[in-house]
Amino acid sequence: MTAEEGIAAGRIFGDRLDLARRYVGHLATSGIERGLIGPREVPRLWNRHVLNCAVVAELIGHDAKVADVGSGAGLPGLCLAIARPDLYLTLIEPLERRVTWLEEVVMDLGLDNVEIIRSRAEAAVGKVECSVVTARAVSALNTLLPLTIPLLGGQGELLAIKGRSAAEEIDKAAKVIKKLGGVQTDVLIAGAEILAEPTTVVRVKVARR
């Protein structure tokens, strides 16, 4: 971790920074050994992955129930759970080896605000209670929306971590957003005052009509 990353991590995680360090330790060891993270990612685990995900917490209300779709290595689900102990996270991941790894990490870190479900997102509809759904590197927005929006049960918001093509993805997904009950779509920037490269997030708000 560079000095700059250390300052940012301290601001984001506060007195839970040691938990974040332990999590990164898991990513850099067993995470690589089991194929959840590529070995070339080790030098940028903090900046590109953990901090990039954790700043999304600033967009989520207090005590929210959050479903993280396609959690994989816990990005952003575990980052949010560490940064925000008031949140309740349900990590939805279909692959058994990833679920096993997530369970081991959650147990080691003693995170009591995390539940892990081995399931495809569409099969978890009706089984998960949440007001926020998060996703990172799952798929393009027009295919991500049908997987995530139904989990909200008609009320709440999707926060999808995206890159520079966010606005273009929104344009392509306009019809899908409307069909699924989207009432407002924004491109937000998280961590602008903390990170040298802030995180781009597409927020889709859904409401019953």
Percent of residues, the chain, with pLDDT higher than 70: 99
Question: Which CATH number among 3.30.310.50, 3.40.50.150, 2.40.128.20, 3.40.190.290 corresponds to the domain 3-206?
Answer: 3.40.50.150
Handedness of CA 161, 164, 169, 174 (dihedral sign): positive
What pLDDT, on a 0 to 100 scale, did the predictor assign at position 209?
61
Listed in sequence order, the DSSP H helices in the chain are 3-13, 17-28, 30-33, 51-54, 77-83, 96-109, 141-148, 166-172, 174-179
Average model confidence (pLDDT) across the chain: 92
36-43: long-range contacts, CB 8 A cutoff, minimum separation 24: 36/72, 36/73, 36/98, 36/101, 37/73
For 18-40, the pLDDT digits (tens) are 999 999 999 999 999 999 988 88
Q: Contact, 64 vs 131, CB < 8 A?
A: yes
Residue carrying the six token digits 């301290």: 10
> For the ranges 5-9, 66-70, 104-108, 110-114, which has the lowest average pLDDT?
5-9
Residue 120 · residue 71 · CB < 8 Å: no
> Is the predicted pLDDT of residue 138 greater than 80, yes or no?
no
Query: In degrees rounded to 5, what are phi and psi of residue 46?
Result: -65, -55
> Among 204, 202, 192, 203, which residue's Cα sits nearest to residue 51?
192
Structure-block tokens of residue 157: 């918001």
Q: Is residue 132 scored above 70 in pLDDT? A: yes
Give residue 147's pLDDT band: very low, low, confident or very high (50, 70, 90): very high
Mean pLDDT of 166-175: 89
pLDDT of 7: 84
pLDDT score, position 116: 97
pLDDT value of position 165: 84
pTM above 0.85, yes or no: yes
Q: Quick one: what percent of the chain has pLDDT higher than 90?
A: 73
